[in-house]
Amino acid sequence: MRKKIVAGNWKMNKTLDEGLKLTSEIVNMVPDEVNNDALVIIAPPFVHLTAVRNLLKDQDRVHLAAQNCHSEESGAYTGEISASMLASAGAGYVIIGHSERREYFHETNEELAKKVNIALANKLTPVFCCGESLEIREEGNYVEYVSNQLKESLFHLPDEDLSRVIIAYEPIWAIGTGKTASSEQAQEMHAALRKYIASAYSDELADNLSVLYGGSCKPSNARKLFACPDVDGGLIGGASLSSRDFVDIIKSF
């Protein structure tokens, strides 16, 4: 049975002290039995990782992710972070291909495939993001577009490696545009992506992959979204910056 997951992406928010306070609040508010229902992950900025890891090391309710990694193991890449560095800092997960990385830093499917490879090689679990813009959505070929993102960045992997990946679908067209993605639209895309994976690999592998919703998920709509049969949780942005909102989303399961 695939895992239910709630992952908080803090993006470029919170000073170190603010991040430690938020982490402590989340750890103290998440019920002890939450791992029976959901895997909880937080992804603070790079500079917080070691300090946050120290807060998380004596508990097993909340797990640590990074927001990005470089596609090379090491080298002359000033300002970048390698997957091995992330692993050594205590991260167990890494977000790859977030829509903001694709848009602002022009990350390509080919580059993201390399990032997935390097993450897996360093025993990090990739949270691979995919999604379509408003233009693609309105053109109507959004399933094909997002499926191609999976194909070009993930389908080189053998079954064993792909089974370690978490997928996060981002309806970019519904983030900050004033438009809203309904639970029905979320379910449509999640089911379509799972079907596409099954066609390339197997029903069993596809059925066991966690596919998260990466739209504007908040306490008011999380329960309805998570009730969709192919929505296995959420990659949470703004709501993850409030301990109460984030934990309320976790409890939506």
DSSP one-letter code for 90: T
What letter represents residue 93's amino acid?
A: Y
Cα(27)–Cα(247) distance, integer angstroms? 9
Q: Which of 249, 214, 210, 248 is nearest to 232 (CA)?
A: 210
Given the residues 63, 98, 100, 190, select the one marked as catalytic.
98
Q: Which of 173, 247, 155, 253 is nearest to 209 (CA)?
A: 155
Given the residues 48, 107, 170, 190, select the one marked as catalytic.
170
Cβ–Cβ under 8 Å, residues 30 and 61: yes
Long-range contacts of 149-156 (CB under 8 A, 24+ apart): 149/97, 149/109, 150/193, 150/196, 150/197, 151/200, 152/109, 152/110, 152/113, 153/97, 153/109, 153/110, 153/112, 153/113, 153/116, 153/128, 154/113, 154/116, 154/128, 155/200, 156/113
98 is catalytic: yes
DSSP one-letter code for 182: -
Residues labelled as active-site residues: 98, 170
